[in-house]
Structure 1
């Protein structure tokens, strides 16, 4: 079995427990790919440079980052640099042979550049140009399979490679959706670790976790319940299952042995039957 684990970058997420659990799973023979983001660290770095992070809302109501050229430079410095290195070191200390990769390495994550995005500002729809982000269309699964077969634990982050005319360009992409693309390509179980115990039916009640989504009716309930950042996770879960993932679990990164717990049913488990 292959498991793709996405470790969230929220300030409330402590990755130590997840890294120890991943190392234990790898030692037991499981094939694990780690994917991480780092929006909080990017925002902190921008603010330290006296620059403001910019977020925009799409016509569908999804809030995301607008990545201009300067922000892309910070992404390239923070994610495949410090954050990826820290996670690789953490896994090495926990006993796993880890290899750090960004989406540009070996053409791991590729697709078209967006260049312009549709946004809503002051109630009006507009087109913002100059965005340095892309949509992942292909995953070099062979590269990941080679590393996994060799006993390594790949640790993957953005940027991805996007075609800009005749040239390749490093651009931003959502880490949840990157994890979804990888899970689909590998036919893996996807675990999305975050700072809440799962998708909540009532965002003000942490005990209202929607535990299992295995029918269209249950999926409709899930989709209606998702708010804020959870909207992107449900979107990623849907893309993963449509792409060939075996299952998706949204669960807390701060639980004991969080990956093992998620695979055992803790959190919100979504199965392919939810989309039929």
Structure 2
């Protein structure tokens, strides 16, 4: 069994529990791929440089980062630092971890998007100069080779973006990166974040949606997902329609966050709840 774990990049997320759980799974003979975000580190670095981080909303209501050239340089630096720290943390717990970004071996590969559609002040606009991309291919052979040899890949954006005849590093969403990897490997996906799962009322933790198994459940889940959670549900859909059997959205700060998520905590979304037609 292979499990893909996405460790969140929010300020409120402590990765220590997740790393301990990865070590437990690997020790039990499970194959694990870790994918990490880094939004907080990027924002903090930009702010130290006197640059205001910029987020935009798409016409579909999903919030994401606008990555200009300066932000892309900071992005590469921040994600490289985080990747090294996570690899070192896993190695300290006896896990033979290997750090990768999406450019390595063209692990994550697809076209650059230099212009994005956004909504500003209620109006639809096109913003140019973006350094982001859409994943079209995952080098699953690279991951499978590492896993077969006993290594635990720790992967992250940037991705290998095609720009005319060049390959350049470009930003891509870490949740969707994890989804693409889970789909390629046919693996279960655990998206760890700073809340317990998806809430029917985003402001009320008592309204946790525990299970999503039907198309009606899926419609309710989409209605409930707002802001950054909308991107996680988009990632869940991509993973499930691509071949992942299950996606779990769960609390990164819970005791044993991955083990408890696999044991039933969080929001569990089954492949049968969503089809490619949706």
Q: Which position in structure 2 is the counterpart of 1:260?
A: 259
Matches within 5 A, 1:23-172: 23-79=23-79, 81-172=80-171
Q: CA RMSD in A?
A: 0.8
Q: Give the structure 2 partner of residue 193 of structure 1.
A: 192
**SS in structure 2 of the partner of residue 12 of structure 1:** coil
CA shift digits 1:182-232 (9 cap, x unpaired): 000000000000010000112222122101101001111111111111101
Establish whether residue 14 from structure 1 lines up as the match of residue 14 from structure 2.
Answer: yes
The question of whether the paired residues in 1 share the 8 Å contact of 2:18 and 2:252 is answered with: yes
Distance in 2, Cα, partners of 1:61 & 1:257: 33
Unpaired segments ≥5 residues, structure 2:
none
Question: Which residue is equivalent to 2:239?
Answer: 240
**How far apart in 1 are the matches of 2:40 and 2:237?**
24
CA distance in 2, matches of 1:266, 1:151: 28
1:82 to partner: Cα distance: 1.0
TM-aligned CA deviation for residue 258 of structure 1? 1.1
Q: Distance in 1 between matches of 2:267 and 2:122?
A: 34
- The CA deviation string for residues 149-172 of structure 1, in whole angstroms up to 9 with x for no partner, is 111110001000011001111100
TM-superposition CA deviations, 1:132-163 (whole Å, max 9, x none)? 00000000000000110111110001000011
TM-score, length basis structure 1: 0.98
Q: Does the aligned pair in 1 maintain the 2:61–2:227 contact within 8 Å?
A: no
Aligned to 2:3: 3
Instruction: Report the CA distance between 1:257 and its aligned residue.
Output: 1.3
Deviation at 1:120, TM superposition (A): 1.4
Q: Distance in 2 between matches of 1:152 and 1:211?
A: 33
Q: Cα distance, 1:122 vs. partner?
A: 2.1
Deviation >2 Å, runs of 4+: none
Q: Given the alignment of the two structures, is residue 211 of structure 1 paired with residue 196 of structure 2, yes or no? A: no
Deviations 1:17-56 (A, max 9, x none): 0000001100110000000010111000000001111111
Structure 1: gaps of 5 or more residues: none
Alignment partners' CA distance in 1, 2:8 and 2:43: 14
| Deviation (angstroms), 1:270 | 0.4
Tell me the CA shift for residue 93 of structure 1. 1.0
Instruction: Give SS of 1:217's match.
Output: helix
The answer to whether structure 1 residue 173 and structure 2 residue 178 are counterparts is no
Shift of 1:131: 0.4
How many Å separate the matches in 1 of 2:257 and 2:63? 27
Q: Distance in 2 between matches of 1:122 and 1:267?
A: 35
Task: Work out the number of aligned pairs and report it.
Answer: 275
1:272 positional shift: 0.8
Q: Secondary structure at the match of 2:207?
A: coil
Structure 2: distance between partners of 1:274 and 1:265: 17
Whole-angstrom distance in 2 between the partners of 1:249 and 1:124:
34
Task: Report if the CA contact (8 A) 2:67-2:130 is conserved.
Answer: yes
Q: Indicate if the aligned counterparts of 2:64 and 2:228 stay in contact, CA closer than 8 A.
A: no
